[in-house]
Every structure is written in C-alpha cells, then in structure tokens.
C-alpha cells in the first residue's frame, strides 16, 4: 500500500499518490484524499460501516471540507479522488482533464478502491459525484454492478446543454473531428459567470494556480466526443445497481451576459434536462430540486446550502 502524506487542506486531511499506467500524455497519476475523523466525530454513528468516495467535476478538485465532515461526523470514512490531470494529480506535461474515453477512469477508481481496501471488508460503498464526476461515476457503477451500495449525484452532467436533439445533431461532427484532431482547440464557452457567482457569495476557494481556472480548462474534440458518448449511454438507459439520490438547483440561468440570478441558479447545466436524464440511471432515483442553489449545491448561499444538507441527510438516512 502507498503512504499517506499531509494534504493542502490542512489538519485532518491526508493524501496518497496513486500510480497509473501511462496514457496519451505520458506519465499520469491519480490522488486519493482522506478525511481523518476529528475528536468530535461519532465513530459509532449511523454511517459507521460506510466508505464514501467523492469525485469532482470538470476543471475542479476536492476541497469541500464541510462535506467531508458531514460524513465523518456520522461515522463514515470519507475519501475523495482527484482524477488524472486534475488538481493534485496535474502534471505540467499533460492537457488538463483530457481523456478520449470516460472508461479510462476505471483505472483511477480501481486504484482508489485498492487504497481503501483495508477499510472495505464488510463495509458499504457510497459513491458521490459532482457534475462531470457524476457522469463518470454513473457510467462506472453501471459497468460494475453490485460494487456500490448508493450513488449521490450533485448536479451531474448527464445531458449536453443543447439537449438530446442538439447532442444527436452535434455528435457526428464532433466524432469526425475527434478522429482526426483529438487535441484540437475549441472556442472558449465558459464566460466565468459560475466563478463570479461563487466569488460574490464567498464560496470560492483559494486554489493553487491552475487547479480551478475561472473559465475552465481548454476543451478538445476527443474529450467532447467522450462526454457525448457518455450522455448517449445515459439516454439509452442504464442501471447503476443501487439507489440514487440526485441533488439539483431548482432553476437554470443560461445567458451570454451576467445576470444576478446566477447567484441562486445553475449557470452551467440545464437542470430540467438533467432531471429527465436522471430518471434513466437506476430503478430507484430520488431527485431533489433546491431553490436558490448553484451548480455545486454545496457552494450555495446559506439558505440553499442548509436545504442541500437536509436533503443529503434524508437521502443517506436510508443507508443507516
């Protein structure tokens, strides 16, 4: 097993580097973070036999210490995975976030579960994914039935912002370009409004340079083709093999100029389309729409944040 070292999040958090096989960019690694229970944690709480594995979204990394403490305070063991080419796993020689297939992350997740193995015997696994991480974990769970006992998705990117018809029209064009120019450039479509909303609300973290750029990582045809292929799998229907809880903002704001409503809506995804897509991922899906929530519902203003944690509390109570 690898060694645990102090993490940038400070006291109570440790990290372990997970070596992976080389990919198109050469040497890559993933990084597993764990939250150590603090003195006030209920080590014999209602979630004491549960391991949580969190996976972040696009242009992101794990920094949500309050979310980790929500679980450790209830007795769970909390881990978070910075996937290859994100956050703690970024290396200067790689294209941030780039993969040509979301199936590649099987290796990252397998390495994380291996590192968690000493805690896994006789324990249950709760997968927790945000945005692109929600799509990644949904597809992974469907390919690995029976491994996860519950799936929690925080604004999962289960459908393209253009909707099903737009995705179907765009897919052939993207696939052709991905075949001949997978690392080609795309126009910048992230105008930084989501970052501005977090800054205005005081929920924007202080991040190491390049880990969470205001307008996201550059995107490439090969990566977009992988995302669209994942959306198509969801649209065709799949089964993650466990109950799923989906947390979403009540509303979206999609605009080319700043709108004050972006401080209390999802300015990244079309949440109505995500809600519809979420009904296709499992036999039992609970969808909770949170008034006033941002794209990451756990970075919202206090009232919406309280509602998000209350919904999470209700959702995990059944596991206990």
| 117/113 Cα distance (integer angstroms) | 6
Work out the pLDDT band at 39, boundaries 50, 70, 90.
low
Predicted confidence at residue 41, as pLDDT, reads 66
Which letter, b or e, does each residue of 241-263 get, where b requires 16 or more Cβ atoms within 10 Å of its Cβ?
Answer: bbbbbbbbbbbbbeeeeeeeebb
**How far apart are the C-alpha atoms of 174 and 118, rounded to whole Å?**
43
Residue 1 reports pLDDT greater than 70: no
Percent of the chain with pLDDT over 90: 84
Mean pLDDT lowest for which of 39-43, 125-129, 166-170?
39-43
**C-alpha to C-alpha distance for 293 and 248, rounded to whole angstroms:** 7
Query: What are the pLDDT digits (tens) for 242-273?
Result: 999 999 999 999 888 999 999 999 999 999 99
Mean pLDDT of the chain: 93
Say whether pLDDT at 132 is over 70: yes
Domain extent at residue 204:
5-317
Give this prediction's pTM: 0.96
Element (H, E) at 63: none
The total number of structural domains in the chain stands at: 1
Confidence of residue 2 (pLDDT cuts 50, 70, 90): confident
| 119, pLDDT greater than 60 | no
In angstroms, the CA 310 to CA 124 distance is 22
Q: Where are the alpha helices (DSSP H) in the chain?
A: 65-72, 105-115, 117-120, 132-143, 163-180, 193-201, 221-236, 271-278, 302-317
Please tell me whether residue 239 adopts helix, strand or coil conformation: coil
143-169 residue pLDDT tens = 999 999 999 999 999 999 999 999 999
What contacts 42, CB < 8 A, 6 or more positions away? 48, 73, 74, 75
CATH code, domain with 134: 3.40.50.1820
């Amino acid at each position: 097993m690898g060694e645990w070292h102090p993490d940038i999040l400070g006291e109570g958090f440790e990290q372990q580097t997970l070596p992976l096989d080389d990919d198109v960019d050469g040497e890559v690694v993933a990084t597993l973070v764990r939250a150590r229970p603090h003195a006030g944690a209920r080590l014999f709480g209602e979630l004491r036999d549960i391991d949580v594995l969190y996976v972040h979204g696009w242009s992101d990394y794990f920094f949500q210490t309050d979310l980790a403490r929500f679980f450790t305070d209830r007795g769970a063991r909390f881990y978070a995975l910075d996937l290859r080419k994100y956050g703690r796993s970024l290396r200067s020689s790689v294209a941030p976030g780039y993969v040509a297939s979301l199936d590649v992350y099987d290796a990252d997740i397998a390495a994380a579960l291996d590192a968690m193995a000493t805690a896994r015997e006789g324990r249950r696994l709760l997968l927790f994914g945000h945005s692109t991480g929600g799509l990644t974990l949904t597809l992974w769970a469907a390919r690995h039935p029976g491994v996860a006992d519950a799936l929690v998705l925080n604004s999962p990117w289960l459908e393209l912002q253009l909707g099903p018809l737009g995705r179907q029209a765009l897919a052939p064009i993207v696939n052709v370009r991905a075949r001949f120019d997978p690392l080609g450039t795309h126009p910048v479509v992230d105008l930084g409004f989501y970052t501005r909303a977090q800054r205005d609300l005081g929920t924007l973290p202080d991040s190491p340079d390049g880990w969470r750029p205001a307008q996201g990582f550059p995107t490439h045809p090969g990566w977009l083709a992988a995302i669209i292929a994942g959306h198509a799998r969801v649209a065709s229907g799949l089964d993650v093999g466990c109950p799923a809880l989906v947390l979403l903002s009540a509303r979206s704001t999609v605009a080319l100029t700043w709108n004050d409503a972006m401080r209390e809506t999802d300015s990244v995804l079309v949440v109505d389309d995500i809600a519809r897509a979420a009904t296709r991922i499992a036999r039992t899906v609970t969808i909770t729409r949170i008034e006033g929530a941002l794209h990451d519902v756990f970075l919202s203003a206090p009232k919406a944040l309280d509602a998000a944690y209350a919904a999470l509390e209700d959702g995990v109570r059944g596991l206990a």
